[in-house]
Amino acid sequence: MFVYIMHEVVNEKTAWLILSCAGYRHTPPPSTPPLATHPSMRHLFRDLQYPIQDIHQRTRPGDRRSDMEQDRRSFLHRCARSGDVVHAGLVVTLLIGVWYAQALEVNTGKVHFIEVMNGSSVLLPCTYASCIGIKNLYFNWQFKDNGTLVKLCEAIIPAEGVEPNVKIYHERVEFVGSSKQNNISILLHNVTFEDQGEYICFARNPKEKERNHSAVFTLYVVDELKVVDNTLTLIIVSVLGGVIGLIILIMVVKAVVLAVLNKVQEKNKECLVSSSGNDNTENGLPGSKADSKPTPKA
């Protein structure tokens, strides 16, 4: 069953590539038969159907239980020997990874809404990306008007780098995208309050089994743009700057005071040493200047 799902999700070449990575060695003929009948897959389908079909076909009256046990052991032995369970798990894992990797991605930017003034022009952004490339990529823009989808434009991009021939269905819509930049954005001129709502960027890549992808961009129309009051922000920034400056000033004053105190202590030590030497000289203690006088001659 997983083989059938894989064949429906990915293209045939990718499916055989995944099976080869999973351990199924084969050389596909020019016209590849269905996966269920391919020689490299026939043994898997036979093993999966063997416990049900072959048991009933080969069961004889009187020894039904023994045949079932023998067939079950034979099936388990073949599965353990051929590693079909491991292969199946590996194929499913690769299938999920390939499915996500090759999916077409449609994006309207990090911010999915915009607020514009009445009577101005606005850009409705949309880009696409695909790991396996595109071929005859179909896209369109639609406006959701009270639950009804109104098509604004549509086109087909034959291949990468080829500019599409865009059909415009709205007089104030202009296509400003480029296939060289994977850009399918449009420009809406002279915006009115009726233009407010959701705009859907839709794309479909035939190389991905015609799966649909879309992104929504919301437009808000106002009389005038709101002026953002930055007073609170300025106050907070000023307070933080003052606190940081005060901390730096305290650290500088502390460093200066410590340096002055160290110099004062060094001078005090020098004074103590010199004063102790003078006291020893006056008292005639050993090591003083009195000991250095010459001995009187007889």
3-state secondary structure 119-144: CCCEEECCEEECCCCCEEEEEEEEEE
Q: How far apart are CA 122 and CA 109, in angstroms?
A: 14
pLDDT of residue 49: 46
CATH of domain 105-222: 2.60.40.10
pLDDT of residue 268: 79
Highest mean pLDDT out of 20-24, 109-113, 291-295: 109-113
**Biggest alpha carbon–alpha carbon distance for the chain:** 151
Bridge partners for 157 per DSSP:
137
Mean of pLDDT values over 21-28: 51
- pLDDT above 80 for 277: no
As a whole number, the mean pLDDT across the chain is 74
Q: How far apart are CA 141 and CA 172, in angstroms?
A: 13
Residue extent(s) of CATH 2.60.40.10 domains in the chain: 105-222
Q: How far apart are CA 187 and CA 141, in angstroms?
A: 11
How would residue 233 be classed by pLDDT, with cut points 50, 70 and 90? confident
Q: What is the pTM of this model?
A: 0.49
pLDDT of residue 265: 84
